[in-house]
A and B are shown apart, each in its own frame.
Chain A
Amino acid sequence: MAISKDIYRALEDVVGAENICNDPLIMPSYYSTNFAAVTLPKNTQEVQAIVKLCNKYKLKFRPICTGWTGGFAPDMVLLDLRRMNRIIEINEKNMYAVVEPYVISAQLQAECMKRGLNLNLKGAGANCSAMLRGHGHMDQTTSGDDRNHLAVEWVTPEGEIVRIGSLGASDEWFCGDGPGPSLRFLINSAVPPGTTPGVFTKCATKLYHWPGPAAFPVTGVSPRYTLKEIPPNFMLRYYSFPTPEKMYQAESKIGEAEIAFELMGFNMSMVAANITTSNEEEAEVFKRLSKQVLGYGFMVIIAGNSVEDFEYKKKVLNTIITQNGGKSLEAVEKDPEIEGILLCQCIRVSASIRETFRAGGVFNSIPIMGQRDLTMRWSIGAGVAKEPLIKKGLIVDDGGMAFGWGVENGHVGKTEIFCRYDRLNPEAVKAVQTWQKEQTARALEGRFFASGPPEQIGPLVSNYHIWWRKVQNAIDPNGVASESGALV
């Protein structure tokens, strides 16, 4: 649907002629959808004006940031938030940062590290919005998901500007729940559809203590960057265990002892992906390293606040690993270059592209939340279900392993398993989709939180979807806000 000249002009009056486009030839650059128009608002007021126009003309709209996720109905107005890219404030005393949507995590993290602070880098990558909801490698010490969001400035689906939490009462960003309106259930929908109707235009995110240097001493030339030296009081190791139960016990004990800066349950395929610079190298390294591990494993980063703290944490770690029959991977322990690469990948890059997209350009994943020992059992079953696909050559051989970690040193966390495949192979596409559907159903049967249509999940969780729909209708009476996909 082409929008009328009058509507186009009205939108153009808001953002300026150079910041709106409805040329159908450029739309595929965003997604394979014909948008009514793409707009580039510069600030909250422009977002609000666009949203109000969408209500006036009954046009669906959706915001995007760096733009990884899809879910776009045709003929909607796209708000590309690229021009909203300012770090508004880094509050060192109260340990939070206020950002606009197109500040990427790498930028905010670099600024924070200079101040002895850090943030939760989401698994989607340092290349994504710093205000993104989600989980990441550093969940042990920087929490995850909506627990990191404090006050938020939100343009509702009708175009009201709502300042949530302390911002609504005192112009302060320190809390998302009050004093002031707490709408956490609305803006941080953790269950599908997972998207808040409307647009977040500013958000405060929690910051955490960073025990490392102001900047990593990166050396080398792309794609092989490493560290000139491992920063003082830092250590990265990979441990594998004789059984998943032993691994969980070790993970749990490390959490209880609060000694790990990061604990990431990488499987060997992901380690191989992260330390290599090509598909060929990755396949070879995966085969080689797989022979050197006992089975399930995880990567640990120890970061000491002092020499004494560092020594203490290492000692506790060694005790836990020994007690649970863990084995350190020599390729990491004996090679500072690989240790440095992984430190960069896991702390600054957030790893994900090499381990997910490089193989075939696409992957399908099932992330679930829950108690780690239980979700790990689910993931073992999901891995077994992958084996026939691996044998048929439909997906990348990653040993059928999952990955995951606990959040805030706890026993609850994220467990995820994915398949990488060639999207141009219809047999592979079908097989992976079937696997995903069946294993998601298994997760839901186990009462784990998994992604899926609200109508499927709602009945399992107090029929929340019925209430959610009512709330949504109340705040979006014209039905113009997008309902699908996360804001990545």
Chain B
Amino acid sequence: MALEDYRGDIEMCCRCSTCKFIPMQMVTGAKYANVCPSIAKYNFHSYSAGGRLNIATSMLKSGFSYSDKLLDIVYNCQMCGACGVSCNYAMDMQVIEPINEFRMKCNKDGKTNPALDKVISGLRKSGSMLPVEGKRGDWAAGLDIKDATKEKVDVLFHVGCLMSYDKNMQKLAKATVKILQKAGVNFGIAGDAETCCGGRAYQMGYEDDFLKQAKKNMALIKKAGVKTLVTGCADGYQAFKVLYDKYNLKGDLEVLHTTEYFARLIKKGKLKPSKKLEMSVTYHDPCRLGRLGESWVHWEGKKIPGHRFMFDPPRVYRKGTYGVYEPPREVLNSIPGVSLTEMTRIKEYSWCCGAGGGVNESNPGFTQWTARERIDEAVSTGAEALVTACPWCEKTFNEAVKASGSSLKVYDIVELLAKAI
């Protein structure tokens, strides 16, 4: 698909501004009504989804041209998809897809962001979104984990760049391993052979680099004969489950987030959280596990001539309805002593942590601003800890907590579950 293919969608924008707010019936007061970090921070309508689509409409009519301000708008978006959920409550139109295509067009026209170029350059050299120190599988030393490239396993645990290389985040990989071992799962990792899922490259607009990574990963998976992949990274989850499918690369691979898999194991009685953790928590839905984590829908059709924006066959929109919302909560609620209090912005209209879309790399100040908004919201619940299900979210929140001086603790669900078993 290209931006041109979404011309009908973007021309449907009625400029109602609902893309800036959480769904109206979910607004609980003056605070926490915003849903889009970009317009909330930068205020010009151009930073909202509606503004972006209107610019795209204009450029499709009059030709593409670029300015520093335009590129500032293009790259200061976490591509979190919240705008689409709010729009699609009432409207039938694609929102985040054309915004994504616009960014990819910028990339193809050579209008890239230098900070993102640097990250992608690293990806091309090392297969990682992070600067590399040591080997990818070093964190697993001494944990007695099978090498899925050499041994037959039922489940491949895709660790991801952040949990592999960031020493502060390796604890999440280790906690995941502890849980899998406790449940007696026949699993393995790809170790040094593992490579980046490519999801963040996709978010940044580097479609070709994403595809290279996707093909490498699927070749490895095919060779290993793995049928089920589990990952604890929301970016990785979306990449394997949704984006690989979008490009017809996923095949019949079953992709599960750790929270989905662990909720399943708990239901089957293979995991029994029994140690009490006296803790009041609130849960942050990662964008790419939640609203952007719902399955890709393959659809081809034509607009039915007439007054309604309808298609033959009917077009199915991904409105965030079928994201992964309950399994993380089921896991949390299964831990004795943990009490969960929800924030205002949850599930499909959750506020982004700020780290996505390359913003973490191109404009860390904006990422931190976005994360601080969430920290404030989490604190307002009275919870002592903010729990999430993605290492990028945890890392970002920890940095925001540190900068703000808040006493809020930040965890990934696997950390709590590992303590409880």
Contact = CB atoms under 8 A, between A and B. Distances in A.
Interface of A: 19, 21, 23, 25-26, 28-30, 32, 38, 40, 66-68, 80, 82-83, 86-87, 103-104, 106-111, 114, 125-128, 215-216, 218, 221-225, 277-280, 283, 344, 348-350, 353-354, 356-362, 393-396, 420-425, 428
Interface stretch (B49-57, B160-168, B384-392): B49-57
A212 to B, nearest CB: 13
Nearest to A40: B43
B323 to A, nearest CB: 8
A358 B24 contact: no
Nearest to A42: B43
A420 B307 contact: yes
B33 A107 contact: yes
Contacts of B91: 353, 357-358
Contact of B65 (A19, A25, A125, A358): A25
Given A26-B55, A353-B14, A394-B307, A221 B347 contact: yes
B89 A223 contact: yes
B293 interface: no
B43 A19 contact: yes
The 8 closest A-B pairs by CB, nearest first: A29-B51, A28-B58, A353-B90, A29-B46, A66-B17, A361-B12, A106-B27, A357-B14
Contacts of A422: 306-309
A223 B306 CA distance: 25
Contacts of B15: 67-68
Interface string B306-338: 111110001001011100010000000000000
Contacts of B43: 19, 40, 80, 82-83
Size category of the binding interface on chain B: 35 or more
10 contacts: A82-B43, A103-B30, A107-B27, A108-B30, A218-B25, A222-B23, A222-B349, A223-B319, A280-B314, A358-B309
B25 A393 contact: no
Contacts of A421: 307
Nearest to B39: A82
Given A68-B16, A107-B27, A358 B67 contact: no
Contact of A361 (B14, B18, B30): B14
Given A224-B321, A361-B11, A344 B307 contact: no
Contacts, number: 186
A26 B44 contact: yes
Nearest to A423: B11
B362 interface: no
Interface of B: 11-18, 20-21, 23-30, 33, 43-46, 48, 50-52, 54-55, 57-59, 65-67, 69-70, 73, 85-86, 88-93, 306-310, 314, 317, 319-321, 325, 347-349
Contact of B44 (A40, A222, A395): A40
Contacts of A279: 92, 308-310
Contacts of A25: 55, 65-67, 69-70
A423 B8 CA distance: 11
A216 B44 contact: no
A250 B105 CA distance: 58
Nearest to A78: B45
A109 B348 CA distance: 22
Contact of A393 (B14, B21, B67, B307): B307
A414 B66 CA distance: 47
A114 B29 contact: yes
Contacts of A68: 14-17
Given A29-B52, A222-B88, A353-B91, A216 B16 contact: no
B16 to A, nearest CB: 6
Contacts of B320: 221-222
Given A40-B44, A87-B30, A28 B57 contact: yes
B44 A106 contact: no
A292 to B, nearest CB: 22
Given A127-B16, A221-B325, A111 B30 contact: yes
A367 B43 CA distance: 32
Given A25-B65, A26-B46, A26-B70, A126 B27 contact: yes
A109 to B, nearest CB: 8
Contacts of B44: 21, 26, 29, 38, 40, 80
A106 B307 contact: no
Contacts of B319: 222-223, 277
Contacts of B67: 23, 25
B408 to A, nearest CB: 25
A124 to B, nearest CB: 9
Given A29-B46, A223-B88, A111 B29 contact: yes
Contacts of A127: 16-18, 21, 24
A107 B30 contact: yes
A388 B355 CA distance: 54
Contacts of B317: 278
Contacts of A350: 24
Given A225-B23, A424-B11, A28 B307 contact: no
A358 B92 contact: yes
B304 to A, nearest CB: 10
Contacts of A103: 30
B5 to A, nearest CB: 16
Contact of A225 (B25, B27, B30): B25
A146 B208 CA distance: 57
A246 B73 CA distance: 56
A349 to B, nearest CB: 5
A125 B91 CA distance: 14
Q: Which of A125, A216, A358 has the most CB of B within 10 A?
A: A358
Contacts of B23: 222, 225
Given A80-B45, A82-B43, A280-B314, A396 B30 contact: no
B89 A110 contact: no
Name, among A87, A103, A279, the residue most crowded by chain B CB atoms within 10 Å (CB to CB): A279
Give the interface centre of B43, B50, B66, B314 by most chain A CB atoms within 10 Å. Answer: B43
A102 to B, nearest CB: 10
A361 B307 CA distance: 9
Nearest to B66: A25
A470 B20 CA distance: 40
Contact of A125 (B16, B59, B66, B306): B16
A21 B69 contact: yes
Contacts of B28: 110, 215
Contacts of B33: 104, 106-107
Nearest to B291: A222
A125 B88 CA distance: 15
A80 B46 CA distance: 11
Given A21-B46, A25-B66, A66-B17, 17 more contacts: A25-B55, A26-B69, A40-B43, A103-B30, A110-B29, A110-B30, A215-B28, A221-B347, A222-B89, A223-B88, A225-B23, A225-B25, A353-B16, A357-B14, A360-B309, A361-B11, A428-B307
